[in-house]
């Protein structure tokens, strides 16, 4: 992965990971910043530079550790070792939080974050599942930092409950032989290949994602699939039918037997429209005034009728093509 420059908080270099990154990227310009949260030079850039901005690496110390309750596959969303990503999915939910500064930030205080998480699990009467990948893509991040190689065996050994994270990337080879003890739930996000190519810019192909989830399942990780986000663009029914057929053909019997599905409809926003129209003027416009409605604070979601139609269609096609696979939720 190629970066143009590193912006870093000076204190981050006193951490093990900070030192490692300093060596790894020694040939890049290193620019000191006061805080990873407000880099003036970045904030002043035009939306059109969004793609170029993603070629910078930001290194800092995570100071906010607030867990958010969640009632889907996990009990808590945990701010973990990174936020943002080098890919450029045109709907990326992180753009709502970070605007054009949705570049990859690495937080070097991973020991502190994992200590806290393990403690929280131990102090709970119930077995808790922690979602550690809601702010970034940890499989992508891991090829730079090795953070999953640090996290998975340590959690397996010391943690109670489970960790989980979703990904749109396939680089899982280094995870296969880790001691995970079944405590790490791996979730692969999929979409029809034509949408991956046009909308999920810079992510892995469907074929590679299927191979990755098969390998993780074979290595004993509990696995699930996210069909997310579902995009109701022209020809969506045929594309999603083909996706389900490809999953039936491409996923091993073992994966299909044990996997669960999560289905999430796309949401979009005014901020996405502004950035995408300037940064990717030739990309498809995901905003559809016929099918979408406002849901407050400049955000859009599909109208209830459109969602109901999509849900009915997907449930019936999943049943027809994949059989009785468990659908955890459609949201």
Which residues fall within 8 angstroms of residue 253, CB to CB, at 6 or more apart? none
What six digits make up the tokens of 265?
């409809």
Indicate the SS3 state at residue 307. helix
User: 118 vs 210, which CB is nearer to ligand SF4?
Assistant: 210
- Give me the phi and psi of 224, to 5 degrees please: -140, 170
Site string for ligand SF4, 234-273 (x = CB under 6 A): ----------------------------------------
Closest CA to 165 of 257, 70, 258, 256: 70
Contact call for residues 184 and 73 (beta carbons, < 8 A): no
Neighbours of 306 (CB within 10 A): 17
Q: Give me the 112-151 binding string for ligand SF4, x by CB under 6 A, dash otherwise.
A: ------------------------xx--------------
Q: How far is the CB of 127 from ligand SF4 (least distance, A)?
A: 27
- Looking only at the bridges linking them, the beta strands covering 76-77 and 162-167 are unpaired
Q: Verify binding: residue 226, ligand SF4, rule CB under 6 A.
A: no
CB closer to ligand SF4 out of 153 and 202: 202
CB of 276 to ligand SF4, least distance (A): 12
Pairing type for strands 184-190 and 223-230 reads parallel
Per CB under 6 A, 203 contacts ligand SF4: yes
Closer Cβ to ligand SF4, 104 or 322, answer by number: 104
92 near ligand SF4 (CB under 6 A): yes
| In contact, 300 and 293? CB cutoff 8 Å | yes
Q: How many residues contact ligand SF4, by CB under 6 A?
A: 10
What are the residues binding ligand SF4 (CB under 6 A)? 85, 87-89, 92, 94, 136-137, 168, 203
């Amino acid at each position: 992965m190629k970066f143009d420059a590193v912006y870093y908080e000076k204190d981050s270099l006193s951490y093990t990971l900070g030192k490692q990154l300093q060596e790894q990227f020694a040939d890049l310009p290193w620019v000191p910043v006061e805080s990873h949260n407000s880099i003036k030079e970045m904030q002043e850039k035009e939306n059109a530079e969004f793609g170029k901005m993603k070629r910078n690496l930001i290194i800092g110390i995570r100071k906010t550790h607030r867990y958010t309750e969640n009632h889907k596959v996990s009990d808590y969303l945990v701010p973990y070792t990174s936020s943002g990503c080098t890919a450029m999915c045109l709907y990326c939910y992180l753009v709502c939080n970070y605007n054009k500064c949705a570049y990859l930030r690495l937080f070097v205080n991973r020991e502190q974050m994992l200590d806290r998480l393990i403690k929280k699990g131990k102090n709970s009467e119930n077995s808790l599942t922690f979602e550690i990948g809601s702010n970034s893509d940890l499989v992508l991040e891991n090829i730079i930092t090795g953070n999953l190689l640090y996290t998975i065996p340590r959690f397996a050994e010391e943690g109670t409950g489970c960790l989980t994270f979703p990904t749109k990337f396939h680089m899982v080879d280094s995870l296969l032989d880790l001691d995970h003890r079944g405590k790490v739930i791996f979730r692969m996000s999929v979409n029809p290949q034509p949408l991956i190519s046009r909308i999920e810019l810079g992510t892995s192909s469907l074929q590679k994602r299927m191979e990755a989830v098969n390998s993780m399942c074979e290595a004993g990780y509990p696995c699930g699939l996210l069909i997310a986000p579902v995009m109701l663009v022209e020809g969506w029914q045929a594309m999603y039918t083909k996706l389900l057929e490809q999953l039936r053909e491409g996923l091993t019997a073992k994966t299909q037997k044990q996997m669960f599905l999560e289905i999430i409809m796309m949401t979009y926003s005014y901020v996405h429209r502004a950035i995408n129209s300037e940064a990717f003027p030739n990309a498809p416009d995901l905003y559809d005034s016929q099918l979408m409605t406002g849901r407050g604070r400049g955000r859009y979601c599909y109208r209830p009728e459109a969602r109901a139609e999509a849900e009915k269609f997907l449930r019936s096609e999943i049943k027809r093509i994949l059989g009785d696979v468990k659908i955890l939720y459609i949201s």
